[in-house]
Structures are given as structure tokens and as C-alpha cells.
Structure 1
């Protein structure tokens, strides 16, 4: 058996693992990266963030052309559009391949040795990697665990056939006539909305009393409005049951048994950390529920074993894992680093989009020391000029009454995802309302709504 000894061993090539690898290489650390999952870039690049946004983009283009059919829109007319989803998927796959190649080139440039195979640990610092060319035993001084997460499967709706996860939903050969989405969180709604735009009849079954239960109602109301306007069937407070003969059993909020016709059932009830099948139980690390327990340095309870990304708990977001990967690499190289962000902003790519950074209204409920101000996108010229001002979108700021320190920023509306970095930056820098108000925001842009919301919190908004 081939034997390898290395300074750093990284398990998992997702956004946490490959970024950790590149940074380790930049810092001159001898590094081996084991890719045993979806490929370089992990879930995000291969079957998550990137391909889903590609499909969402294609669906929005299709919808735009469809609006121009018949009487037209904005003076533009077009013939009734058609979709060959297999060609759309091929285009999406081309983007993924291009990004895969880019990650491979970056790892090569950083002199990181990449091994394709499945690692199984026998102790905290030793694993055997099963590859197509035989087994390799690797011993490392430092181990970075970055195994990511996987879709949760319901025991009565196991994946297979016409019951699919988000992975399969991104590679369907054709648009299903009837799609039922089980789970009204961000993954289910993003994909459900995309397929509705492509012409599928869509129903959503959600156990909670409303969609996107992790966001406050004001943020989700515009999404609800879109769903209702576009004929998406909503079964809230409902429970899904078994599926067979093209029908999904559902129990309504009132206990009424229903059967929903479905060509495909998309199950999106959450994700869980990938902790099984690679010998985690042999490593002696402490757990925090289903997650690997870490401190603010991403260190586990075992010396020189680190964990990053979805394996470490919520929020399970790619950009969190990437930052953790960078920090761990720098700690191993001798730098003094901690993972202690003010915020990890989150984006929901629904129609319209939702952004949340920092504290929201539910987090400060009952407090009288917080200023809250909302500015509607309907009062922003750029929003109206790109048809983004009529869906109830807004930007909201929360700040401390005593010193005007920003506590949180949220937005809902078309294209507001691009405001997320500005929100996070202001919070991370400890900005006060006067900092945002005193920054000259470019006109005409959607970002002016952030400026105006801050002015409104100070009592002197200009355009409302």
C-alpha cells in the first residue's frame, strides 16, 4: 500500500476544503486534499449553489420571453417560447466543468496534492483512501475535516425514481408537468419557483404555518404574493405521506387526507452534516448534536484536528465554510486567528430575492432600545426602471437607539442579493447609521434604498 506523510490533510473538496487547501499551499504547508464526494468545489459548485442559480437564471429568461408572447411587454413581442431542458442542463453542466477546472488549476498552482477517493479514518491522524488505482494510507500532522452535508431523506419518501432531491432536480431531462415540493424552505422554494417559471404546475407542502419559517413574515410576504399570483398551490401546516401511482398523500392542516398528482416529488426538508461512513467515530472528537464540536478557532476536541463548513453547524452556508478554511490554514501556519464574524449574511434566491444580515425584528422583539426603518423599492428609480418596484420589496435597517450602531439589515426584492455584501461589510466594520447616510450612494442603483432606509432611521429620508 502506498504511504503518504503530510503536514496537512484535508478531507472534502467543497468550498471549505478547497479554500483551506489553496491557503495552506500559499502559506507553504505540505498539503494533501482528498476529494471523495461531488468533485472539486463540492456540493455548492457541482449540485448546489452554482448550478441552481444557473437553472434559476434560465427559468427567468424563459419567463421573460413568455411575457413577451401575445400582447407583449415593454413594447416587446415574441413568439410563444419552448424549452429543451436537456440543453439547459448541458449549458449548466458546462459552467460546472469550467469552474471545476478552475479550482483544479488553483490547487495545482498552490502545490496541493489532490487525491480522488474515499477516506476512512482508523485514528485521528491516519486514514486509508480507496482510489481506482488502489489504497493509499495517509498520515498527517494536522487534519481538516470538511465533509460538508447531504440532503435529508424522509423514511416514507426515500429518494429514488420520481422522488428526488435537489441534486436530481438540477439535472431533469424535461420539465415535469406536475411538481410537488415537500418543504417550504429556501431550497424547495428556489427550485419550485424556477420550475413554475418553466411551465410546470407546482404545489408546495410545508409543515409550518408559513413558507420560509426562518425569515420574518414581512420578508416572506412578497414571495407569498408571487406564489399566489402565479398559481402555485400552497399546503401550509400540512404533512406529506407516502407516494405511489403518481399521487402524493398529504394530511392538511385540518387533518383532511389529500392526494396530490405529481410527476416528480422534490423533497427539500433540510440538510444534515455528512458524518457517516468515513470513520469519524474513530477520531475521538466531541460532538455538538449532529455536528462536530469546535471552538472559535475551528479546533475540535482532538489536538490538531480541525473542522470547517457544514460539519460545524448553522449557518450551513458556503461562504462561512470558505472563511473558516482560510482561518484554519493560517492558524496551522502560526498566525493568531479566530472565527468570530459579526454576521454571516444569507441570501434566498426566490422571486423576489431575500437578504438577511445581523439581527432581525424577531431577534429584538420586546426591546425598546432599537430603531427600525424601512424604505420601499417602489420609491427607487432604478427599481422601477428594471420592473423591480411593484412586488412589495424593501430595505430595512435596525440600529441601536443609544449610539446608532447598525444591528441588522434585511431586504426583499428583485436583484437584492447583490446588496448582501454591502450589508455584511457595514455590520462587520461596526458602522453607525451616520456612516451609511454619509456615504454617497451611486444613482441610479438599488443600493440607494440602503442609504434612504438609514436616512429614514435618522428621521430625514429624502425620497419618501
Structure 2
């Protein structure tokens, strides 16, 4: 067995792992990163990036297909989609980005080992590589193993039942698609396939879709789904495949079978804590997640954990921030984790972006708040794009006007996430945002107007 030593060993090359490795390399730390797949993890290879590529392709197709119905005076012939070609384009983007990450790791002098690691203790692991087993000894270990789709016992993946990974690998548009789960993954992909021509039915066990967001934010999404012809069943439970091959569901009206050529199961993700020898470390857990402190330290000295394996929110940018911080800590920097301003974006149509506290969460925390919204129907830029559905909302403390939360729903409003995060990260008050000149005409003006309304001096409504 070959031996390798290093100062820092990272298990998992997803967003958290590879960012941790690059930053560690920049700081002069001898680093090894291990993953059986190309660098980038779920997000880059089979998640965030390829799904957004599909969403974009679907939007472009839908725009051409419905152009003649709109008010712009544009006419076009009936479009066609070659999904195999679209998938090839999407895979090309993934290849460029994974290759770019590999180059960045090499530039930072990080040693990248392709293989499956098994931890032996808090200082070593054995990696099964194509050339045989490799034993790696390290002073510090970072666990960044990410998450995987949750499988429904009555709908195991295989055949017509697919996960989000399977949906992104399709080379033909399914004529009928049933989506189990009305969360962000199911609705992002379900909406995309509806725009590509699929007859889509969404089955959600909760009383409404996107239950992690408040009803005011999700109302425009529900209206858009209806306009796209997507059937949504709430308070419904998927029970498996029916005799005819469709999806068998239970609703308050009784049992039914939804005709479907594909059944997309998107009921959530689970942390990957098995298959790499974690039991040998006997680390403290928080339910299914690894327990970490404000510096991402586990219960074992010299072992850190970052990203989805450490709990909610399971977001790539959270993992990246944790990875960068841990690299600094290993280098001797004094850093801590502040999770107050982590943007959450749902790439549905319209998009939802949220940072900080919602009105309900702020009140539940004992705050007396001022809440104000500005509708995109009164925003010039939104009107010129033909998408006036949605709004921007601000939640501020009544006493000192400290901004506690910002939310928005609208086409393309995910790009406001950075501005929202900056407002909260820098503890700005309503007067700070209201006193900042916002470019006209842009949809970002809605943030300015919402803050002006919260101060009782709105201008354009």
C-alpha cells in the first residue's frame, strides 16, 4: 500500500471541499482532496449548474413558442426541441467548469486524488484508487461529503422513477411527467419540462407548494404554474406506481392514478454520512447531521465538517463560505461563522429570493416590525420585460429601522440576492438603503421603493 502524508486532507470535492482546498493551497497549506467524481460535487456535476442550464433552455423555447400570443408583435414558426442536443450543451458547460476547478486546484498546488476514501481514524484514511489502495495521513481532516436525494420507499429509483440527476440526463422530453414533491427542486425542474411541452402534475403532501417560504411569496409562483398548465395537487401522498404504470396517489377525494411516462421524485436531500468510515470516528451528531460548532469543528480534535453534512440550509454558497473559513482556521487565522445573511434562492418562475427573517419569523423572535412591499407592476423595467408579477419586501425593526429581512419574487430577481445580503451583512437601516441612489430603470429600484414605503414616504405607488 502506497503512503501519502499532508497537513490537510479533505474528503469530498464539492463546493465546500474544493473551495476549502483552493484557499488552503493559497495559504501555503500542504493539501490533499479526495473524491471519486470530478471536482464540483452534486452542485456542479448534477445539480445547480446543469439544472439552471435546462431552465434557461426551457425558457428560451417557451419564449419562442408563445411569442405570437404576446403583445410585442413578434411572430415565429412552431419551434422544436432536440433535448439530446440541449443535454450535450449542458454537459459541455459542466465539463468546462469541472475542468476549471481542476485547474484551480492544480494552480493552488493541491493534490487531487480520484477515488473513494474510507476514514481509519481522525488522522488517516485509505483511498481506493484505480491504481490500488492509497493510505493518506494528515494533521487535519475536513469532512465535506455533501448530500444525496432522498428515496421514497414506495418509489425506488429505477425505470420510470427518476431523481433530479436522472431528469437532467433525459434526452427526450417526457410527454407526461409526475413530480413528487412541491419543493424548490421539483418545481424548478417541473416548470422547465412544462415549458418544453410536458404535461406536468405536481404532488405535494403539505397544504401548499414551497412550504419553506411564506404564502405571500409563493402566490405568484402558483399563479404562473396554473398559467403554464401545471396541475398541482396539495395535501396529497404518493403511494407508488399503479397497475397502468402511472403514479398512484391519495388525496382527500380518495385514491387516483396519474398517468405518467416518468415520475420525478424530489422530496428532499439527506446528508451523506455512510460509506466512508465515519463510524470509526464516533462523532457527535445532530439528528442525521454532523454536529459542529461556530468554527465547523466536530467533537473530535483536528476533524472539521462543512456543507450539507452539517445541516440546514443545505446550500452550495454556505458550504463555500464554511470551506474558506476552515482553510483560514487551519492556517492559524482567528475566524468564526456568522450565518445571519445566507441568501436562499428558488429558481422557479417567477424566482424567489430571501435573506434574513420573514415577517412571521421576526415577530416569532419577539421583534416589532415594519413591513413594506413594492409591486413590480409599478416598476418600469419590469413592465418593459413583460413580467410584472411579483414584488420586493422589506422587514425592519420598528424602533431603530434595522433591516432584519429582505424577500422578493419575480422574473430574474435572483440577481438581487447579493444586494440583499450586503444590506443585512452590514447591518444597514432603512434610511441607508433609501438614501442610496438606485439606477433607473432597473428592477433593483423596487428595493429602494420598498424601503421608502416602510419609512412612510414612498414615491411611485
**TM tier, smaller:** over 0.9
- What is aligned with 1:387? 386
Q: Which string of whole-angstrom CA distances, capped at 9 and with x for unpartnered residues, describes residues 16-65 of structure 1? A: 0000000000000000000124x211000010000000000000000000
Within a 5 Å distance, the mapping from 1:259-270 to structure 2 comes to: 259-270=257-268
Q: Distance in 1 between matches of 2:368 and 2:248?
A: 48
Change in CA separation of 1:331 and 1:296 when aligned onto 2, cut-off 3 Å: same
Q: Distance in 1 between matches of 2:105 and 2:124?
A: 22
Change in CA separation of 1:296 and 1:72 when aligned onto 2, cut-off 3 Å: closer
Q: Distance in 1 between matches of 2:15 and 2:359?
A: 31
SS at match of 2:154: coil
Within a 5 Å distance, the mapping from 1:191-202 to structure 2 comes to: 191-202=189-200
Q: Distance in 1 between matches of 2:120 and 2:102?
A: 28
SS at match of 1:10: strand
Runs (4+) off by over 2 Å: 364-368
SS at match of 2:128: strand
Contact kept, 8 Å, 2:21 with 2:105, in 1: the verdict is yes
Contact kept, 8 Å, 2:372 with 2:395, in 1: the verdict is yes
For residue 437 of structure 2, the aligned residue among 421, 431, 440 is: 440
Q: Distance in 2 between matches of 1:372 and 1:429?
A: 20
Match status 1:16 vs 2:27 = no
Q: Distance in 1 between matches of 2:282 and 2:139?
A: 16
- What is aligned with 2:35? 35
SS at match of 1:4: strand
Within a 5 Å distance, the mapping from 1:52-71 to structure 2 comes to: 52-69=51-68
- What is aligned with 1:105? 103
Q: Distance in 2 between matches of 1:175 and 1:361?
A: 40
Deviation for aligned residue 1:388: 1.8
- What is aligned with 1:215? 213
Match status 1:453 vs 2:435 = no
Q: Distance in 1 between matches of 2:27 and 2:71?
A: 54
SS at match of 1:57: helix
CA RMSD of aligned residues (A): 1.0
Q: Which string of whole-angstrom CA distances, capped at 9 and with x for unpartnered residues, describes residues 112-133 of structure 1? A: 0000000011212211100111
Deviation for aligned residue 1:364: 2.8
Contact kept, 8 Å, 2:362 with 2:404, in 1: the verdict is no
TM-score (norm 2): 0.98
- What is aligned with 1:375? 374
Within a 5 Å distance, the mapping from 1:16-415 to structure 2 comes to: 16-37=16-37, 39-69=38-68, 73-244=71-242, 245-254=244-253, 256-365=254-363, 369-389=368-388, 391=389, 393-415=390-412
Q: Distance in 2 between matches of 1:49 and 1:398?
A: 28
Deviation for aligned residue 1:94: 0.2
Contact kept, 8 Å, 1:13 with 1:42, in 2: the verdict is yes
SS at match of 2:156: coil
Contact kept, 8 Å, 1:129 with 1:135, in 2: the verdict is yes
Deviation for aligned residue 1:72: 5.8
SS at match of 1:129: strand
Q: Distance in 2 between matches of 1:243 and 1:228?
A: 25
Q: Distance in 1 between matches of 2:248 and 2:431?
A: 54
Where does structure 1 lack aligned partners over 5 or more consecutive residues?
none
Match status 1:424 vs 2:421 = yes
Q: Distance in 2 between matches of 1:447 and 1:107?
A: 36
Q: Distance in 2 between matches of 1:452 and 1:95?
A: 37
Deviation for aligned residue 1:332: 0.4
Q: Distance in 2 between matches of 1:124 and 1:207?
A: 41
Contact kept, 8 Å, 1:72 with 1:78, in 2: the verdict is no
Q: Distance in 2 between matches of 1:75 and 1:384?
A: 16
SS at match of 1:404: coil
Deviation for aligned residue 1:68: 2.1
Change in CA separation of 1:454 and 1:261 when aligned onto 2, cut-off 3 Å: same
SS at match of 1:97: helix
Deviation for aligned residue 1:233: 1.0
Q: Distance in 1 between matches of 2:111 and 2:259?
A: 50
Where does structure 2 lack aligned partners over 5 or more consecutive residues?
none
Q: Distance in 2 between matches of 1:89 and 1:253?
A: 39
Q: Which string of whole-angstrom CA distances, capped at 9 and with x for unpartnered residues, describes residues 81-111 of structure 1? A: 0001000000000000000110011000000
Number of aligned positions between the proteins = 459
Q: Distance in 1 between matches of 2:260 and 2:71?
A: 32
Deviation for aligned residue 1:73: 4.7
TM-score (norm 1): 0.98
